[in-house]
């Protein structure tokens, strides 16, 4: 069932219509097969890029779509309802363009049209084996050596690892904790950079996740984004926006599961009537719908604050927490609605359930979101 959206402009309505058409014709027929075969959907990103959907929230003069975040996120949600790996990929790519766009020198910003136009796909390389939730503990080193930084270390869990054309890399340039981290733009074919085998994951199998190994890799010094030692605030600012992307992906996934569950419940008969006519099951579906719609309202509220230039970090954490917890619950309940069939790979809801789980984990686990929200509350209480 198509979601009834309140969009701010006729242009936004056209964008949603275009996304639905691409989702139905190009994405939906390929999703199950690519996920089963763990095949990276590079062509899907090309299609979205050609349609102008890979740089939506960036200004037009930088090569982006000039759309409010509110619109970008609803496009993302539409993609997430059909193919979570691709929606997460669009979100990660958009996150990866944030640092070059917001903090890059002119020479780096010159590459933005290719990044935002979809010719180049991005990755965001912050996490390491021993630095996940505590990202400031990262140990990958970048040591200045004339015109280059020599980078050594291993990044872990990198979405699009080995597939991306560029990575936004966070590496240590001094031992001064979070203040000793710098940000770099690194090409996918950077000498000294190799990739681990893709992780064997529970879900999002079409979305490649791999380690990045840097072995004395000479990254040109003019590839640094922002000042030396100012990388960590850039990483955190990017994640504030990125979390909203994951919230939208999660709502899309939950909407997709709800749609499947309602359609099945209206058709499946037991005791001589469709199972949806049993109040016990209709209440389950009603709770699922309430979870999806309230999660959508939560991310839209945060996005509208961002679009108006208001602080939105607390609301972004709340949206990520609410939306991904809702997606986990709704996809699990969708399996319940389909009974034994829901537990098989013949129907997509078990895949949705596996895909929902990671959304509670990446871009800051939901415990970390609670920590962020709690800190905001404490700060407000202190006045
Ligand atoms: C499929 C996938 C894709 C990813 N893509 C990327 C990517 O593109 N780029 C990137 O940089 N990273 C990426 N990540 C990494 C992801 O962001 C981390 O996995 C996440 O931040 C958690 O880190 P961790 O796995 O080391 O868990 P840990 O930090 O070790 O946490 C383990 C558990 O402890 C809890 N915990 C930790 N600290 C606290 C605390 N202070 N209070 C309460 N609970 C706490 C956590 O919530 C969690 O439940 C990806 C991960 C996955 C699984």
The catalytically annotated residue of 163, 350, 355, 363 is 363
The residue whose CA is least distant from atom 6 of ligand 1 is 158
The DSSP output letter for 183 is: E
Q: What is the set of domains in the chain, with CATH numbers? A: 10-116 (1.10.540.10), 122-232 (2.40.110.10), 233-381 (1.20.140.10)
CA of 134 to the centre of ligand 1 (A): 8
Report the mean per-residue pLDDT for the chain: 97
299 touches 248 (CB < 8 A):
yes
Q: pLDDT tens across 23-55, in order?
A: 999 999 999 999 999 999 999 999 999 999 999
**pLDDT computed for residue 214 by the predictor:** 98
pLDDT tens-place string over residues 331-377? 999 999 999 999 999 999 999 999 999 999 999 999 999 999 999 99
State the distance from the centre of ligand 1 to the C-alpha of 98, rounded, in angstroms. 21
Return the ligand 1 atom nearest residue 199 CA.
1
Indicate the pLDDT class of residue 288, thresholds 50, 70 and 90.
very high
Residue-level pLDDT at 347: 96
**pLDDT cut 90: percent of the chain above it:** 98
Distance, in Å, from the CA atom of 228 to the CA atom of 230, rounded to the nearest integer, reads 6
Counted residue by residue, the chain has a size of: 383
What is the per-residue pLDDT across 81-126, written as a single tens digit (0 to 9) for each?
A: 999 999 999 999 999 999 999 999 999 999 999 999 988 999 999 9
CA of 132 relative to ligand 1 center, distance in Å: 5
As a whole number, mean pLDDT of residues 1-6 equals 90
pLDDT of 308 higher than 80: yes
* Active site annotation includes 21: no
Closest atom, ligand 1, to C-alpha of 368: 47
The residues, any chain, with a CB within 8 Å of residue 100's CB and separated by 6 or more, are 108, 109, 111, 112, 115, 168, 185, 225
233: enclosing H helix or E strand: helix 231-267
Q: Which residues form ligand 1's pocket by a CB distance below 6 Å?
A: 92, 124-127, 132-133, 157-159, 201, 204, 209, 358, 361-365, 367-368, 371
pLDDT for res 1 = 75
Average pLDDT over residues 137-141: 97
Ligand 1, closest atom to CA 160?
8
* Residue pair 142/171 in contact by the 8 Å Cβ criterion: yes
* pLDDT confidence of residue 19: 98
- C-alpha–C-alpha distance, residues 75 and 286, integer Å: 24
Q: Is the pLDDT of residue 175 over 90?
A: yes
Q: How far is the CA of 368 from the centre of ligand 1 (A)?
A: 9
Residue 290's pLDDT band (boundaries 50, 70, 90)? very high
Closest Cα to atom 4, ligand 1: which residue?
A: 157
Query: Would you state the pLDDT for residue 257?
Result: 98
Model pLDDT, residue 177: 84
Say what the pLDDT of residue 2 is.
86
Measured CA to CA in angstroms, residue 25 lies from 31, 44, 257 at distances of 11, 11, 19
Residue 364 C-alpha to ligand 1 middle, in angstroms? 6
Q: Which long-range contacts (CB under 8 A, 24 or more apart) does 30-35 make?
A: 30/83, 31/82, 31/83, 31/85, 31/86, 31/206, 31/348, 32/348, 32/351, 34/85, 34/206, 35/85, 35/204, 35/205, 35/206, 35/351
- Asked which of 20-24, 178-182, 332-336 is least confident by mean pLDDT, the reply is 178-182
């Amino acid at each position: 069932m198509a979601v009834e959206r309140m969009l701010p402009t006729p242009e936004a309505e056209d964008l949603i219509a275009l996304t639905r058409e691409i989702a139905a014709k190009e994405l939906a027929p390929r999703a199950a097969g690519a996920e089963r075969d763990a095949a990276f959907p590079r062509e899907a990103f090309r299609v979205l890029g050609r349609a102008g959907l890979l740089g939506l929230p960036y200004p037009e003069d930088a090569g982006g779509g000039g759309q409010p975040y509110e619109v970008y996120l609803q496009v993302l949600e539409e993609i997430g309802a059909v193919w979570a790996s691709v929606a997460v990929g669009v979100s990660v790519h958009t996150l990866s363009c944030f640092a070059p766009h917001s903090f890059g020198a002119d020479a780096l910003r010159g590459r933005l049209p290719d990044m935002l136009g979809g010719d180049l796909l991005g990755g965001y390389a912050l996490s390491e084996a021993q630095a996940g939730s505590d990202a400031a503990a990262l140990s990958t080193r970048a040591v200045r050596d004339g015109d280059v930084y020599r980078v050594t270390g291993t990044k872990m869990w990198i979405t699009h690892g080995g597939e991306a054309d560029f990575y936004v890399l966070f590496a240590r340039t001094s031992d001064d904790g979070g203040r000793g981290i710098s940000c770099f733009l690194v090409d996918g074919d950077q000498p000294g950079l190799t990739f681990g085998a893709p992780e064997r994951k529970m879900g999002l199998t079409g979305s490649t996740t791999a380690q990045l190994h840097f072995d004395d890799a000479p990254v040109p010094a003019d590839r640094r984004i922002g000042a030396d030692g100012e990388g960590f605030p850039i990483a955190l600012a990017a994640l504030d926006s990125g979390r909203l992307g994951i919230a939208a992906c999660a709502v899309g996934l939950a909407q997709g599961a709800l749609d499947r569950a309602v359609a099945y419940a209206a058709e499946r008969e037991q005791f001589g009537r469709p199972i949806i006519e049993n109040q016990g099951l209709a209440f389950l579906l009603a709770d699922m719908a309430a979870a999806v719609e309230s999660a959508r309202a939560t991310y839209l509220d945060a996005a509208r604050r961002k679009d108006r230039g208001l602080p939105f970090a607390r609301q972004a954490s709340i949206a990520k927490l609410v939306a991904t917890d809702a997606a986990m619950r709704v996809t699990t309940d969708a399996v319940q609605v389909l009974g034994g069939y829901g537990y098989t790979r013949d129907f997509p809801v078990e895949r949705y359930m596996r895909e929902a789980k990671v959304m509670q984990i990446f871009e800051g686990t939901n415990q970390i979101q609670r920590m962020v929200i709690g800190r905001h509350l404490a700060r407000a209480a202190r006045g």
